[in-house]
Amino acid sequence: EVQLVESGGGLVQAGGSLRLSCAFSGFTFDDYVIGWFRQVPGKEREGVSCISIIDGSTNYADSVKGRFAISGDAAKNTVYLEMNSLKPEDTAVYYCAADPNGGVGVLDLGPYRYFGQGAQVTVSS
């Protein structure tokens, strides 16, 4: 059974930093992409960043480029999202997700089949 579990969310002041972790298990596919998405009430879930496990290539939404960094630890089956210079508009529930098809990672929801339960990130002004 595929499982993804997020951790590391919380409350931080604007300008601060948080690191989210996504621990995944049960994968039987050789090539996959792990992505981070976020959602606020009343809005669609949006792609934040993703990483290809095979070649380590990454992708970022324009709104977080230069502030967020995604990385993976294959030995620990964990992907991290380091979030710096946080802004109140970064407040959302953050979800990690898996695209079992692999290849080039994208920030569209379509290819992602598995999602974690989400972690709340709140940035106060």
Please provide the size of the chain in residues. 125
Nearest to 24 by CA among 46, 47, 1: 1
DSSP letter for 78, please. Answer: E
Q: Is the dihedral of CA 103, 31, 57, 111 positive or negative?
A: positive
Looking only at the bridges linking them, the beta strands covering 114-115 and 92-99 are antiparallel
From residue 1, give the alpha-carbon distance in Å to each of 20, 25, 59, 69, 114.
22, 8, 27, 28, 10
For every one of its 125 residues, what pLDDT tens digit does the chain have, with 9 covering 90 and above? Answer: 999 999 999 999 999 999 999 999 998 878 899 999 999 999 999 999 999 988 899 999 999 999 999 999 888 999 999 999 999 999 999 999 999 988 888 999 999 999 999 999 999 99
